[in-house]
Amino acid sequence: MSLRAELYCYFCGHGSGEVLIATKSRRPSPEQLKAAYAAVTGPRAPIWDQGEQPVCPRCGGQLFLEKYEQTVRRPAAPTQASRAS
Ligand SMILES: [Zn+2]
């Protein structure tokens, strides 16, 4: 089972993008969030400033867990989006 979560900045509206977190709990822990966002690179990625609280890369404000939901089912098989190249 996994959670779909996103960190969001209430100060400037910056969204850090969704991540999938493999967990059995109903809410991801800070450690799990940090591990999940370690895979996110680039200007959108949140910054962990030594502590457990991620901060916004744009304004330096605190990021909040905007939404998280359990994804019980695996996503459907990929559609036929194959492009001949
Ligand atoms: Zn911000």
55-74 pLDDT, tens digit per residue, is 999 999 999 998 778 876 65
Going from the Cα of 16 to the center of ligand 1, the distance in angstroms, rounded, reads 10
Per-residue pLDDT reduced to its tens digit, 22-47 = 888 888 888 899 999 999 988 999 99
Going from the Cα of 28 to the center of ligand 1, the distance in angstroms, rounded, reads 21
Q: Is residue 27 part of a domain?
A: yes
Q: Is residue 76 part of a domain?
A: no
Q: Is residue 84 part of a domain?
A: no
Q: Is residue 83 part of a domain?
A: no
> What domain range is 18 assigned to?
2-71
Our count of domains for the chain comes to 1
- pTM for the full model? 0.73
Q: Is residue 81 part of a domain?
A: no
Q: Is residue 28 part of a domain?
A: yes
Q: Which is more confident, 65 or 50?
A: 65
Q: Is residue 45 part of a domain?
A: yes
In SS3 terms, the chain reads as CEEEEEEEECCCCCEEEEEEEECCCCCCCHHHHHHHHCCCCCCCCCEECCCCCEECCCCCCEEEEEEEEEECCCCCCCCCCCCCC
